[in-house]
Chain A
């Protein structure tokens, strides 16, 4: 329900007509609300799923700064235990999820302390650094006001030098209702707009005009949180890559694919030290034979993805790239149908109606609606529908029934003679798993 405010930017909730919100919630036979609440949650989940439209062009390489308010307002205990501790906990989840979904992206954290901005972590691609820094922030003293402008300026200074093909973003978490700035903040906003840096704000207190204005100018999103679960949703919605800005420069980026194969079979590699730990005094580099060698300058790293410290080449492995592909080839939404439309199984199997993926026996009481894939015509229960779309990113039916994928594929290649060369060139690394995904992609 809270999402409604996003739909209409002009009208606030208190300006809209009278709503009987309680009528949406109905008690079940036992007078309990659990079922009704679960239904509301399911509906919200599906709604969010439906909103995820197909986007072929996304800002996949993201450089994001999280600007975290560390002012007095963050010690307010309206989010338990305090705003800051709640934020830190959620940020931990966010950072894990961010690097899971955006493996070749970079993140940095800026804290707004007593009218000053302080960079907690530089832009890096490893979650460990950030998680460690976050753990150290729990005991930060929360005093005075934040300065939004100083924070934005600091982030801007760093993001300015990031290559233009990357998607540059700032996510601001504001607890305070005020900001104490050195000069007119509109100058900074204009600069951000000019640099096409996307700024999003999550306010922990209330909607603030200048923050809303900032997000509108820079094409970001604005959200004021209701409670911690809403806060979590707001934060995690930043995990999905945003649509690529139309003005974003596209380019081919040179990348290295290190391989740890021995050059001489049967002979162990010599012991060597890795570059990532060489300057780290707390965890000194150990000698080892394994590691990833930069194909350009041969320096060794123990973790991927990483930017080579010697020659600046971005080093990745093929699965890292594959991890992002599901953003580009999403599973099409399933059609919601009443329970009765599922054909019952053969009589020797008890004439039961089953979910195709998890063989859950469906019954008309708990599974009021079922979901059908438009390509393979298989029926799924609601849990599998959500699991397939949110986690698995591959339709079980389309990937297990050979005819479905094969036939559509043949049709597709027959239709486009000009695309023949492309079809042959289809890579080993990136074939859309099913033809329907490919159909969409070529369109």
Chain B
């Protein structure tokens, strides 16, 4: 039994706005399945006395004080953007691509 179906991979690709070909879907589904099966094996060895773990460090309550730190300049902030206008990031139209 596969851990992830081809349809699930297609769904995730669409959510991530990745254009994936039919062949790629087959290939990625297979690869992701291997990864997920491997991770699932860890679940097999975890005994009841081992709680589910989401963080690798045994820490809680790591905070910083509410003190302003230097920011980037507008130029520096926009330096890596493919396109800008009026001091802002310029992005393609948002609604159409969902159709």
A, B bound? no
